Amino acid sequence: MRSVSIIGAGCTRFGERWDDSLRDLVVETGIMSIEDANVGGEEIDALYVGNMSGGRFVEQEHIGALIADCAGLTRLHVPSTRVEAACASGGLALRQAVLAVASGYSDIVIAAGVEKMTDVSGGTAADALAAAADREWECFFGATFPALYAMIARLHMHQYGTSHEQLAEVAVKNHHNGNMNPISQYHMEISVDKVLKSPLVADPLRVLDCSPITDGAAAVVLAPTEIAKKYTDTPIEVLATAQASDTLALHDRRDITTLDASVYAAKRAFKQAKLSPEDIDLAEVHDAFTIGEIAAIEDIGFFKKGQGGKAAEEGITHIGAKLPINTSGGLKACGHPVGATGIKQAYEIVLQLRGEAGKRQVEGAKIGLTHNVGGCGGTALVHIMSRR
């Protein structure tokens, strides 16, 4: 296997982009990433795009061909593949692209992610997202996505004494980080009190425990590390790409408060990179809900099971502290265009490792990790990246 590096990255502004279509978002991010990488169209060997539900959100499938078309690559007939793993579609697209380059089959490959979610009502969006859960044995009885994470939160609180204040600390931190990120959906500080007083969605989770509905797209350009310096002075090497799966239904899990897919993906990634959790300088983790970040930092191995809430409360995960988590603002504040999220996480780590993260910069960051979850843990992807 060849070593693979990211030579370019781009990400659109996240938010309610009512004036832009899915196509506009793809073109915007595609141009940003290609210009950043200094590659020409004829050099591109393949495209992979993560998209969860174009069919439900904009009544458009066949997103692979669509993005090649929009990117102006039709005359070159570049192979383009859409991949889907619910909210982990972006992370999965990145993994497919890394494997394509690592195998030697392709040289320059683009991994993109896109979701246009605000063309439908909130209820329709909630139903489309619920399709990531077990439609026959969860949603049929009234389960929603927040409800499944709420049941994880309830049991986590019961078993480990995690408090709602600790959950709220995750949202407060991520809004603070997102406020410093120009692409964020939200630029506003919130308080623990504000989270605890926001309307209930699925008890114990409230509106400000949940990531929003978002439009956005992101892309990264990959190349074999041996030629990466031809394109950029600051290639970011992908040290590990790992994936794991688990039962679709939450009720069938070995332990409801642990996402075993995250545990296994992280273990595999650390083994591949020959690193351990202590070596990581910063991480972007899947905080679709505040409890998601707490479970993630435990499941990846940064903190012991049950200690995630305490870590959030003590501020260990803030920028400037021991282990900054979700410097981009996470899914919570930066926004969560589901298919794009996994690529946006990589984009943030690339900026951080290049030293280009502005006010959010983690000083001396050398090794970063991304963690992207599909559903409430049916799929998980972990990538580890390093500055060359």
For residue 40, state whether it binds other proteins (rule: CB under 8 A): no
Find out whether 294 and 162 touch, Cβ atoms under 8 Å: yes
Instruction: Compute CA 145 distance to the chain's CA centroid, rounded to the nearest angstrom.
Output: 17
Q: Decide: residue 301, CB within 10 A, 0-12 exposed, 13-18 middle, 19+ buried.
A: middle
For residue 113, which phi and psi values (nearest 5 degrees)?
-150, 140
Q: Which amino acid is at 94?
A: L
Considering only the stretches 163-171, 251-259, 293-301, 317-325, report the one whose residues sit in contact with other proteins under the rule CB under 8 A: 251-259
C-alpha to C-alpha distance for 220 and 191, rounded to whole angstroms? 34
Q: Is 127 in the site for other proteins (CB under 8 A)?
A: yes
The only residue of 59, 136, 233, 363 in contact with other proteins, by rule CB under 8 A? 136
Q: Transcribe 355-367 into DSSP letters.
A: T--GGG--TT--E
Contact set for other proteins, span 193-212 (CB under 8 A): 199-205
Q: Which of 256, 259, 285, 333 is in the footprint of other proteins by CB under 8 A?
A: 256
Q: Is 120 near other proteins (CB under 8 A)?
A: no
Alpha-carbon gap, residue 194 to 199, rounded angstroms = 10
* DSSP assignment letter at 124: H
| 87 labelled catalytic | yes
In the complex with other proteins, which residue's Cβ is closer, 151 or 350? 151
Instruction: Indicate which residue of 336, 371, 376, 383 is catalytic.
Output: 336
Whichever of 147 and 367 has its CB closer to other proteins, that residue is 147
Peptide bond into 204 cis (omega under 30): yes
Q: Please give the Cα distance from 20 to 91 (Å, whole number).
A: 24
**Residue 252 binds other proteins (CB under 8 A):** yes
- Does the footprint of other proteins cover residue 151 (CB under 8 A)? yes
Q: Is 142 in the site for other proteins (CB under 8 A)?
A: yes
Least Å distance between CB 190 and other proteins?
A: 19
Distance CA 175, CA 100 (A): 36
Q: How far apart are CB 194 and other proteins at their closest, in Å? A: 18
Residue 334 known to be catalytic: no
Instruction: State the residues that interact with other proteins by CB under 8 A.
Output: 123-124, 126-127, 130, 134-144, 146-147, 150-152, 154-155, 158, 199-205, 249-252, 256
What positions carry a catalytic annotation? 87, 336
